Chain A
Amino acid sequence: MVWGSMIAWYLFLAGASAGAFLTSAFVEAKYPDSVKMRVAGRIIAPIFLGIGLLMLMLDAEAGLHNPLRFFYLVMNPGSVMTLGVYFICVFMPVSVIAALLEVLRRPVPKWLTWVGIVSAFCVAAYTGFLLGVVKAYPLWNNAILPVLFVVSALSAGLAATSLVGLVTDRERFERMWLIKKSHVILSAIEMVVLVTMLIIVSSGSAEGAASVASLVSGQYAPMFWGGLVLLGLVAPFAIEGYPVFITRKVETSTTSMVVSVIGEGGVLVGGFMLRLLVILAALPVMYL
């Protein structure tokens, strides 16, 4: 396999970073009083992306030895990687400035938030297109993968921010129904999109079918079912969905908090697993 866990970490962190920024913008619009969670999202965004970019540079060895070569990254707008660099060049400074303003207790200008929202969305989407345009791997080369990555990015960003809200500002967090509902719905959408992708890829080509088989019943099956499906999708869906759609009451017990932490943590584990599995399980087309 060409890429490994380093790139999976980058794809996950970049997506979660964008998701965290979008979450904070959502919290700001709908819950102006939830300061801690908004600030958490704003701070998580540049930190996650910063760590991700570090991973990216560590993986690109020739550039690591000659850092000035990274400036050439803007040269080919026809490459999705170059487009991603453009998006990051906007999103990274915007998220850093927004985080700094929050820390300094200054208001973040509306226009800056909007620039951040658009560039965050572009960053989340490009990580999917980065793999999606590679024709050599049927598991990547389909229109559903970028959608799956965006949904997963939103979910992971929401989970990372919620985790902070849950621990630092629980009373308020438990009443943020819109956030909780969005979280459950995102998990449901992600499940549907994942199943759709696997079916389409599996029916498209022999190599695609073999990739999907390695996920659902082959060497990656334990990671796929345990890490991605159970921990990353089903558990969070049930844990969040139960109080939001069934009991409809505000939870205050310590048990429910521990369970919620497992749910949010599971989304993060699942988000990373998704990228890792998509990278590892992809088989190239046969040329002979």
Chain B
Amino acid sequence: MTRYGMLINTKKCVGCYACRIACQMVNGLDHEEAFIKFDEVEQGTYPNVYAEVVPVQCMHCEDAPCEAVCPTHATYTTDSGVVLVDEGKCIGCKYCMAACPYGVRVQIEQTGVIEKCRFCWYEGEPGNPPRCVNTCVSGARIFGDLDDPESEICQEIARTNAQPLASDLTAAKIYYVR
């Protein structure tokens, strides 16, 4: 089975926000609406400290809490493990926004629908790769099939021991090198 996921290397990320802007353009988002947000974490011990920029977006969780609580089944998971929103079913109740521990579900002002990163899903397939990946100036993002041990993402996860942000919260499919 194909199981799409992503790897984000915060050691390579320069915090330029190009991925967010590219995402906003490809998804037709308003400048205040974004599927990618950036958290800053203090790292290191004095005097060797730095601010780590952590890009955060939908983790496409295997056990997506947003999907579990969605009363209309507007949120669903494809066979390839991508969590999507069926706009035609979403009533905008915001239950998914409350359930998502990463706070990455966004209400689209014009329609009221609660959207999120969809790995640039279009015509039954995710982006090849999604726009944030091929926009990244420092190559901090890798997209691919987590079930294919030969894929670039699996090799890189194995090599760097990349981990999800919070494995105690959900079974996320975005891995981080930190």
Contact = CB atoms under 8 A, between A and B. Distances in A.
Interface of A: 2-3, 56, 59-66, 69-70, 72-73, 75-76, 78-82, 85, 133-137, 284-285, 287-288
B7 interface: no
A76 B72 contact: yes
B100 A75 contact: no
B24 to A, nearest CB: 20
Interface size class on chain B is 35 or more
B41 to A, nearest CB: 6
Contacts of A287: 56, 101-102, 165-166, 169
Interface of B: 39, 41, 54, 56, 65, 68-74, 87-95, 97-103, 107, 111-114, 165-166, 169
A36 to B, nearest CB: 38
Contacts, number: 101
A12 B100 CA distance: 24
B95 A62 contact: no
Summarize B's interface: helix, strand, loop or mixed. loop
Given A69-B72, A284-B103, A64 B89 contact: no
B73 A76 contact: yes
Nearest to A71: B72
Q: Closest 6 A-B residue pairs measured CB to CB?
A: A61-B112, A63-B91, A62-B92, A72-B72, A62-B112, A81-B71
Contacts of B114: 62
B69 A134 contact: yes
B92 A79 contact: no
A62 B73 contact: no
Contact of B91 (A72, A80, A288): A72
20 contacts: A2-B94, A59-B92, A60-B92, A60-B94, A60-B112, A61-B107, A62-B90, A63-B91, A63-B92, A69-B91, A73-B72, A78-B68, A81-B95, A135-B99, A136-B98, A136-B101, A285-B101, A285-B169, A287-B56, A287-B101
A66 B117 CA distance: 23
A1 to B, nearest CB: 9
A62 B71 CA distance: 14
Given A69-B90, A285-B169, A287-B165, A79 B69 contact: yes
Contacts of A73: 71-72, 91
A75 B97 contact: no
A76 B71 contact: yes
Given A59-B93, A62-B92, 4 more contacts: A63-B91, A69-B90, A82-B71, A137-B98
Given A62-B112, A72-B74, A287-B165, A81 B101 contact: no
Contacts of B91: 60, 62-63, 66, 69-70, 72-73
A131 to B, nearest CB: 8
Nearest to A279: B98
Nearest to B52: A288
Contact of B93 (A78, A81, A133): A81
A137 B99 CA distance: 8
Given A61-B112, A65-B112, A288-B54, A81 B69 contact: yes
Nearest to A3: B94
A15 to B, nearest CB: 18
Given A69-B89, A72-B72, A288 B95 contact: no
Nearest to B105: A2
A63 B93 contact: yes
